[in-house]
């Protein structure tokens, strides 16, 4: 019988427990208090300070199973994943550690015993090979004289490029930190005497490194400085997936039991039958990494750990699509795949939903650009003659289509093409520099610019005019010219760009003349001057020269629809809700409008519909929208809406939408209401007491929203197998059915619980006068386990109740301790014993606690020991 991966993990721990090691849980994937590491990449990370002698450990011998991620940082395997049979982003590392306790000899002897003894892994000694650090004579002698490995099977590995300690047999955690010479044990699947030791080691595929034993003797302070440590330690690491491939004799990590299950499931959703397919392997590997990263509360982003996650997700998506998993479908299969990942108990169940939500968002975002980017890359591939993609193209794919560089590398690798990485890095660094400058610029741009002058706004009627450049500011200082790539603010004598005011956002567009061009990204008022904020994209622009200014018409049109609709909304609110519904704030952008107004009562759905109806009717009436400059008194006579307690100039601009809406306004508007097309409220909320907020869409944005709603209803109908008209009825019936079923299920469960309690009461032990119940249930309803523990506590009064519920390969534990006993023994203490022994998780209080873990095989022995432990604890107490 082959060992399962779970059994191998357990055997490792059992072996080291027998050798006096404390078994501790692995650390989180995010190293605590260690800014030198992005992710935990080895079992020793959590013990860094103990190796360095900065902290004292309670135990001198430890063994752990550590979740590791080798993506980003010093140890980065991402690019190899899928292409070799061995590399993973995420993997589990088995490790034993000694702190100022045993050293070289024992560490080697333990490793040899575990690997070769019949009782443990029982590997053929002839298939094992050894490497040692060239200068480490002591280790060489241990292998040769004590373990008696033939010298032709021991290879000495020296420093590379004559740099001291730059060797495969000198392990370093990162650019700084504990380090030391190492000895590695290799496995040869098929004995081959035709090659020399050197040849075997040179050929990657011949020998599989299974165990790295590091003799921690030094601390690396910097690139050039390394100092000896006062105390010597042992740090060993054995990849669980690798040793499983050896013990299951499958010659590939991807062929071990846990990966095969996962790969089969993925292949089922794909159009691939060959389970050796690279993309299948990549998806299987990456899913585990994605799961564990999101479980550690990392979300995809453009920097730091979030970017590593994003890179892994994007690489997964490309490979998933490549093997025929439909676009925007991948996130849906996640729950099915997660079930196959080795997760302790049901505690992490809620993460499943979060992962799906995050992946859905990422997938929707990236699948849109993936195809476009691939097309561009294909075109580029056709053009090149030297099999090298330029850094510019790789950067364009990154910058515009969100292709992480390793994704582009991955695609190119499949086609035998390289990327000019130096060139790419040049673009990347330049972008970084620009983006820092930009951030600084936008943070400070309007600080101290005071110009005693006035610009004329011509943008009510014109979209493009010829102007004179009056002032140029760069970094808040007046300059006479601004050149390519510089960010700055340009002031003109007259402009058609509307500066942000009255809730309407500023215009965007360009200032240009012949080959010079300045991209306007925002327009703001600076006193009486209008500032065009942006960047020169070509040429040099000089003060006192002529320039054309041209707004982005599509952007402005969308703003105008929302601005005119805002006036319609304001008037409609006053008609329907009363004259007190007065504007308190507003935002008019190209994408939507937001309107805050005074109103104390709740607004119901039918009022919302009324408001929409009134506005849409005025839209269909296709009124002309006119503006007039009027004397303020005249405006009042026209009943124009305004904040008349505000100070206005004598002459005010009034916007008339027939006599439906007359309002003072400086903003820009469309010329006919019909152009708004459609008005749709999408949100209503309370901003503060007495102030309501309405958010709404117009034009194509409103149509898009309706399409989305439409699709949603259709999807629901499809799920319910009904037509749109009877979905409500169907949902109501379903809810009723579910409620009835739940009621019946509850009744049955209650009966079962009563019977179960009766059975359990017969199994109660007595320790002195205290009742102890320890029992293992099988796939019992988890909610009921909690209820049973509570009832037993009430019934037995003076008792400790431990109920274990086995569910496939995992278990949960629920523990209850009656209050009178909690000063000597607590429920959380008991749960901790279980989870420590099984790398589980849990929590709770003194009287009630629960947890869960894997390694069900260990349960009988823990149960046995726990009885003794409780007896000991209670021995000296009188109750
Ligand atoms: N730290 C070493 C490694 O990761 C041994 O655990 O290989």
Tokens of 187: 């496995």
Distance 399 CA to ligand 1 centre (A): 36
Pocket test for ligand 1, best of 95, 173, 178 (most atoms within 8 A of CB): 95
Distance 324 CA to ligand 1 centre (A): 38
Residue nearest to atom 6 of ligand 1 (CA): 237
- Domain containing residue 568: CATH number: 3.30.980.10
Q: Is 669 annotated as a binding residue?
A: yes
Pocket test for ligand 1, best of 16, 27, 42 (most atoms within 8 A of CB): 42
What angle do the packed helices 782-796 and 727-761 form, to 10 degrees? Answer: 40
Residues 169, 228 share a domain: yes
In a domain, 417, yes or no: no
Residues 589, 508 share a domain: no
Cα–Cα distance for residue pair 97/862, rounded to 1 Å: 24
In a domain, 406, yes or no: no
Residues 520, 448 share a domain: yes
Distance 502 CA to ligand 1 centre (A): 62
Q: Is 825 left (phi over 0), alpha (psi -120 to 50) or beta?
A: beta
In a domain, 774, yes or no: yes
856 in ligand 1 pocket by Cβ < 6 Å? Answer: no
Pocket test for ligand 1, best of 31, 41, 44, 67 (most atoms within 8 A of CB): 44
Domain count, the chain: 4
Distance 213 CA to ligand 1 centre (A): 7
Tokens 């730091």 map to which residue?
304
Residues 581, 528 share a domain: no
For ligand 1, what atom is nearest to the CA of residue 238?
6
Average pLDDT rounded to a whole number, residues 199-212: 85
Residues 820, 698 share a domain: no
Distance 342 CA to ligand 1 centre (A): 22
In this predicted structure, what is the pLDDT of residue 342? 63
> Based on the number of CB atoms within 10 Å of its own CB, is 426 exposed (0-12), middle (13-18) or buried (19 or more)?
middle
> At which of 504, 522, 551 does a domain end?
551
Distance 344 CA to ligand 1 centre (A): 24
Largest distance between two CA atoms of the chain: 109
Average pLDDT rounded to a whole number, residues 712-732: 87
Phi, psi of 318, deg, nearest 5: -60, -45
pLDDT at 631 exceeding the cut of 80:
yes
185 in ligand 1 pocket by Cβ < 6 Å? Answer: no
Pocket test for ligand 1, best of 70, 77, 93 (most atoms within 8 A of CB): 93
In this predicted structure, what is the pLDDT of residue 345? 44
| Predicted confidence band of residue 354 (pLDDT cuts 50, 70, 90) | confident
Residues 577, 530 share a domain: no
Q: Which residue in 587, 563, 552 sits closest to 673, CA to CA?
A: 563
Residue nearest to atom 4 of ligand 1 (CA): 42
In this predicted structure, what is the pLDDT of residue 831? 93
237 in ligand 1 pocket by Cβ < 6 Å? Answer: yes
Distance 119 CA to ligand 1 centre (A): 25
Residues 766, 694 share a domain: no
In tens, the pLDDT along 733-763 reads 999 999 999 999 999 999 999 999 999 999 9
Alpha-helical regions (H) of 797-858: 827-838
Instruction: Supply angle C-alpha 308, 41, 208, rounded to 5.
Output: 110
In a domain, 823, yes or no: yes
Residues 589, 525 share a domain: no
Specify the range with the lowest mean pLDDT, choosing from 64-78, 519-533, 586-600: 64-78
Mean pLDDT estimate for the chain: 90
End-to-end CA distance of the chain: 51
Q: Which residue in 240, 105, 99 sits closest to 183, CA to CA?
A: 105
In a domain, 720, yes or no: no
Q: Which residue in 4, 108, 12 sits closest to 62, CA to CA?
A: 12
Residue nearest to atom 2 of ligand 1 (CA): 237
What are the strands, taking DSSP E only, across 411-562? 418-419, 456-457, 464-474, 477-479, 481-483, 487-492, 494-495, 509-513, 516-526, 529-538, 540-542, 546-551
Residues 127, 210 share a domain: yes
Residues 673, 775 share a domain: no
Q: Is 206 annotated as a binding residue?
A: no
In tens, the pLDDT along 72-116 reads 666 677 888 888 888 999 999 999 999 989 999 999 999 999 999
What DSSP string describes 84-148?
Answer: BSS--SEEEEEEEEEESS--HHHHHHHHHHHHH-TTTT---GGGEEEEEETT-HHHHHIIIIIS-
43 in ligand 1 pocket by Cβ < 6 Å? Answer: yes
- Domain containing residue 135: CATH number: 3.30.930.10
Percentage of the chain lying above the pLDDT 90 cut: 64
In this predicted structure, what is the pLDDT of residue 173? 84
Residues 594, 487 share a domain: no
Average pLDDT rounded to a whole number, residues 312-338: 85
> At which of 508, 533, 551 does a domain end?
551
In a domain, 790, yes or no: yes
What DSSP string describes 468-506?
Answer: EEEEEEETTEEESEEETT-EEEEEESEESPPPSBTTBPP
For ligand 1, what atom is nearest to the CA of residue 41?
4
In a domain, 721, yes or no: no
In a domain, 195, yes or no: yes
C-alpha distances (whole Å) from 850 to each of 210, 493, 708 are 37, 73, 43
> At which of 508, 523, 551 does a domain end?
551
| Residue 800: count of CB within 10 angstroms of its CB | 27
Beta strands at 170-172 and 226-239: parallel, antiparallel or unpaired = unpaired
Q: Is 563 annotated as a binding residue?
A: yes
Residues 198, 104 share a domain: yes
In this predicted structure, what is the pLDDT of residue 772? 93
212 in ligand 1 pocket by Cβ < 6 Å? Answer: yes
Query: What is the extent of the structural domain holding 612?
Result: 557-707
In this predicted structure, what is the pLDDT of residue 96? 98
pLDDT at 506 exceeding the cut of 70:
yes
What DSSP string describes 600-653?
Answer: -S---HHHHHHHHHHHHHHHHTT-BEEEEEEEHHHHHHTT-B--TTS---SEEE
Tokens of 468: 């004179």
Instruction: Supply angle C-alpha 786, 789, 791, rounded to 5.
Output: 110
Percentage of the chain lying above the pLDDT 70 cut: 97
Cα–Cα distance for residue pair 112/125, rounded to 1 Å: 9
User: How far is Cα of residue 299 from the mean position of the Cα atoms in its chain?
Assistant: 2
Cα–Cα distance for residue pair 531/814, rounded to 1 Å: 67
In this predicted structure, what is the pLDDT of residue 876? 62
The whole-model pTM stands at: 0.61
- Domain containing residue 792: CATH number: 3.10.310.40
Specify the range with the lowest mean pLDDT, choosing from 10-24, 179-193, 352-366: 352-366
β-pair partners for 776? 804
Distance 20 CA to ligand 1 centre (A): 21
pLDDT at 349 exceeding the cut of 70:
no
Q: Are 565 and 593 in contact (CB under 8 A)?
A: yes
Distance 73 CA to ligand 1 centre (A): 15
């Amino acid at each position: 019988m082959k060992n399962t991966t779970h059994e191998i993990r357990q055997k490792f721990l059992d072996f080291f427990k027998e050798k006096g090691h404390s078994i501790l849980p692995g650390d989180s994937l995010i190293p605590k208090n260690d800014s030198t590491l992005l992710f935990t990449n080895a079992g020793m990370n959590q013990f860094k300070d103990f190796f360095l002698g900065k902290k004292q450990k309670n135990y001198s011998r430890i063994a752990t199973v550590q979740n590791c991620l080798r993506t980003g940082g010093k140890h980065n395997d991402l690019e190899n994943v899928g292409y070799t049979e061995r590399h993973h982003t995420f993997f589990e590392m088995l490790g034993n550690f000694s702190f100022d306790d045993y050293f070289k000899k024992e560490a080697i002897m333990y490793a040899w015993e575990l690997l070769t003894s019949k009782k443990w892994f029982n590997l053929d000694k002839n298939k094992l090979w050894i490497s040692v650090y060239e200068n480490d004579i002591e280790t060489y002698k241990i292998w040769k004289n004590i373990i008696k490995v033939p010298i032709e099977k021991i290879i000495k590995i020296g420093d590379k490029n004559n740099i001291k300690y730059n060797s495969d047999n000198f392990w370093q955690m990162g650019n700084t930190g504990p380090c030391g010479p190492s000895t590695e044990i290799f496995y040869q699947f098929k004995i081959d005497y035709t090659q020399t030791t050197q040849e075997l080691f040179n050929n990657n595929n011949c020998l599989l490194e299974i165990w790295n034993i590091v003799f921690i003797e030094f601390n690396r302070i910097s690139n050039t400085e390394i100092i000896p440590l006062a105390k010597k330690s042992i740090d060993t690491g054995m990849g669980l997936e690798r040793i499983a491939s050896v013990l299951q004799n499958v010659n590939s990590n991807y062929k071990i039991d846990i990966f095969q299950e996962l790969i089969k499931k993925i292949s089922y959703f794909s159009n691939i039958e060959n389970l050796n397919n690279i993309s299948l392997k990549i998806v299987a590997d990456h899913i585990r990494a994605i799961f564990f990263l999101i479980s550690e509360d990392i979300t995809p982003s453009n920097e730091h750990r979030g970017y590593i996650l994003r890179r892994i997700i994007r690489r997964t998506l490309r490979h998933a699509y490549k093997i025929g998993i439909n676009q925007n479908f991948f996130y849906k299969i996640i729950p099915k795949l997660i079930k196959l990942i080795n997760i302790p108990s049901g505690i992490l169940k809620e993460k499943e939903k979060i992962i799906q939500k995050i992946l859905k968002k990422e997938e929707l975002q990236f699948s849109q650009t993936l195809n476009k980017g691939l097309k561009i890359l294909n075109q580029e591939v056709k053009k090149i003659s030297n099999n090298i993609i330029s850094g510019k193209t790789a950067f364009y794919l990154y910058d515009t289509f969100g292709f992480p560089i390793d994704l582009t590398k991955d695609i190119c690798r499949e086609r035998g093409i390289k990327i000019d990485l130096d060139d790419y890095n040049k673009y990347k660094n330049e972008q970084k520099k620009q983006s820092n400058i930009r951030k600084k610029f936008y943070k400070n741009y309007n600080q101290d610019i005071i110009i005693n002058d006035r610009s004329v706004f011509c943008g009510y009627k014109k979209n493009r005019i010829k102007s004179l450049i009056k002032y140029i500011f760069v970094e808040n200082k007046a300059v006479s010219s601004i050149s390519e790539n510089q960010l700055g603010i340009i002031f003109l004598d007259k402009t058609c760009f509307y500066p942000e005011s009255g809730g309407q956002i500023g215009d965007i567009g360009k200032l240009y003349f012949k080959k010079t061009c300045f991209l306007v990204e925002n327009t703001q008022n600076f006193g009486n001057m209008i500032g065009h904020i942006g960047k020169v994209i070509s040429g040099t622009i000089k003060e006192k020269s002529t320039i054309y200014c041209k707004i982005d018409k599509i952007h402005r049109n969308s703003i105008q629809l929302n601005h005119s609709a805002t006036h319609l909304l304001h008037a409609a609110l006053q008609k329907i809700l009363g004259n007190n519904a007065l504007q308190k704030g507003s935002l008019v952008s190209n994408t939507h409008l937001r309107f805050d107004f005074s109103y104390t009562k709740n607004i119901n759905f039918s009022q919302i519909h009324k408001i929409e109806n009134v506005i849409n009717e005025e839209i269909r009436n296709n009124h002309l929208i006119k503006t007039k400059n009027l004397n303020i008194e005249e405006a009042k006579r026209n009943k124009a809406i305004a904040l008349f307690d505000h100070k206005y100039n004598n002459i005010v601009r009034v916007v008339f939408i027939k006599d439906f809406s007359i309002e003072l306004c400086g903003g820009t508007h469309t010329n006919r209401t019909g152009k708004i097309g459609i008005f749709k409220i999408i949100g209503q909320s309370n901003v503060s007491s007495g102030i309501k907020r309405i958010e709404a869409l117009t034009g194509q944005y409103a149509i898009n929203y309706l399409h989305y709603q439409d699709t949603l209803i259709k999807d629901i109908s499809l799920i319910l197998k009904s037509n749109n008209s009877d979905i409500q009825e169907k949902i109501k019936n379903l809810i009723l059915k579910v409620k009835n079923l739940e009621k019946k299920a509850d009744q049955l469960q209650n009966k079962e619980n009563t019977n179960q309690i009766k059975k359990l009461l017969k199994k109660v032990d007595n320790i002195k006068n205290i009742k102890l119940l320890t029992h293992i249930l099988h796939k019992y309803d988890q909610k009921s386990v909690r209820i049973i523990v509570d009832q037993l506590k009430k019934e037995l009064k003076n008792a400790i109740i431990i109920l274990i519920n086995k569910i496939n390969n995992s278990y949960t534990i629920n523990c209850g301790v009656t209050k009178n006993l909690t000063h000597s023994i607590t429920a959380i203490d008991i749960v901790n014993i279980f989870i420590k022994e099984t790398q589980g998780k849990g929590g709770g209080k003194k009287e009630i606690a629960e947890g869960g873990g894997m390694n069900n095989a260990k349960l009988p022995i823990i149960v046995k020991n726990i009885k003794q432990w409780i007896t000991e604890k209670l021995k000296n107490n009188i109750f």
